Amino acid sequence: MTKFFARIALRNRKAVYILSVIITLFFGFFASKIKLNSDWKELLPSDNPIVSDYTDISEYFADITSTVIVIEGDKPEALSDAADKLAKIIRDNLLNVEKPCVKEVYHKLPVEFLKKHRLMLTKPKDLKDALIMLRDPNLIATLKAGVWALVAILILLFIQFLTNRKFTGIKSIVFALGYTILASLPLFVAILWMFGLMYLFAIKFNYLNYIAFPIIIGIGVDDGVHITHRYRKEGRGSLKLVSTSVGKAVLLTSLTTCIGFGAVAFNEMQGMASFGIVAVFGIASCFFATVLIVPAILRIKETVYKD
């Protein structure tokens, strides 16, 4: 299998490069449309009776935490009487009992109050996901952790390639920067592919699967690093050897990792299942991006530039 990918990458390097750009732009377009799903009910088992009941009630009343009942009619006196009777029924059956289901009942609220606090009539799902994302410190902290982890990885790669003694001065810096970009390029491409696949499979970010983002960064970058370092060790003309030998190791580690995360995809908790699916998308994308893009770029480099 690795020989197959190596043959494609090395013999059709320009086609692979162009196709990779097209696929990345395609997935990148859909990645820009992915949203955050803040509904915690969709993290729970969908076939659980309690979750089903809660979903039905919340869809009917818009929001369980604060339910607003509006009575319409042409006769003000009849409306006032109906509101009094309804409030009494609720208090007697749901509030003034041994195990109350409600905390407080307010009725006959003036129209001015409802106009001023009309936001409480808005369904939570209608609020913008971007606003929820910005207000969620846990989500922001996790995304920041992933970004800082990526920065640390890039710095470590740059220092590692900078230790190459073949070049000195500015040429050494350019060499280190170029190979750092090359080693990390599959990761950036794979992240866009992962987001695009999430959108195509109707998977939104939620409070569990977004944890896969920093995990993919830490695991996925290894593939490009292994191939790039092995190429630097073997030298010019070793692309076929590197692609097949290191490719086997990358394939094996990717498969075992996908199997591990894939098992989570069968969890009855929808949130955990989506985490497993997103992780598999990320790992698989890192593998394909690495074995196709890196050898193709290195072959082009050997053609136009001699170390």
14-59 confidence digits (pLDDT tens): 777 788 888 888 888 888 787 777 666 777 777 777 777 767 766 6
- The yes-or-no verdict on residue 188 having pLDDT over 80 is yes
- Asked whether residue 77 falls in the same domain as residue 139, the answer is no
pLDDT at 77 (0 to 100): 82
Greatest mean pLDDT range, 8-22, 41-55, 181-195, 206-220 = 181-195
220-269 confidence digits (pLDDT tens): 888 888 888 888 887 777 777 777 888 788 888 899 999 999 998 888 88
**pLDDT mean over 277-305:** 85
- Asked whether residue 252 falls in the same domain as residue 144, the answer is yes
- Asked whether residue 264 falls in the same domain as residue 277, the answer is yes
- Asked whether residue 11 falls in the same domain as residue 101, the answer is no
What pTM was computed for the model?
0.68
- Domain count along the chain: 2
Is 230 part of a structural domain of the chain? yes
pLDDT at 243 (0 to 100): 78
Q: Between 232 and 146, where is the model more confident?
A: 232
pLDDT at 29 (0 to 100): 87
pLDDT at 193 (0 to 100): 92
Is 210 part of a structural domain of the chain? yes
pLDDT at 101 (0 to 100): 64
Percent share of the chain, pLDDT over 90? 8
Mark which of 87, 104, 122 sits at the end of a domain. 122
Query: Which DSSP string corresponds to the chain?
Result: -HHHHHHHHHHTHHHHHHHHHHHHHHHHHHHTT--B---GGGGS-TT-HHHHHHHHHHHHHS-SSS-------S-HHHHHHHHHHHHHHHIIIIISSSS-S-S----S--HHHHHHTGGGGS-GGGS-HHHHHHH-HHHHHHHHHHHHHHHHHHHHHHHHHHT-SS--THHHHHHHHHHHHHHHHHHHHHHHHHHHHHHHTT--B-TTGGGHHHHHHHHHHHHHHHHHHHHHHH-TT-HHHHHHHHHHHHHHHHHHHHHHHHHHTT-SSHHHHHHHHHHHHHHHHHHHHHHHHHHHHHHHHHHH---
- The yes-or-no verdict on residue 60 having pLDDT over 70 is no
Q: Between 204 and 110, where is the model more confident?
A: 204
- Asked whether residue 115 falls in the same domain as residue 144, the answer is no
Is 57 part of a structural domain of the chain? no
- The yes-or-no verdict on residue 131 having pLDDT over 60 is no
pLDDT at 70 (0 to 100): 75
**pLDDT mean over 70-95:** 80
Is 157 part of a structural domain of the chain? yes
**pLDDT mean over 117-144:** 56
**pLDDT band of 281, cuts 50, 70, 90:** very high
**Averaged confidence pLDDT in the chain:** 77
CATH of the domain at 248: 1.20.1640.10
Domain of residue 222 covers 2-43+127-304
pLDDT at 119 (0 to 100): 56
**pLDDT mean over 3-19:** 68
- Asked whether residue 88 falls in the same domain as residue 235, the answer is no
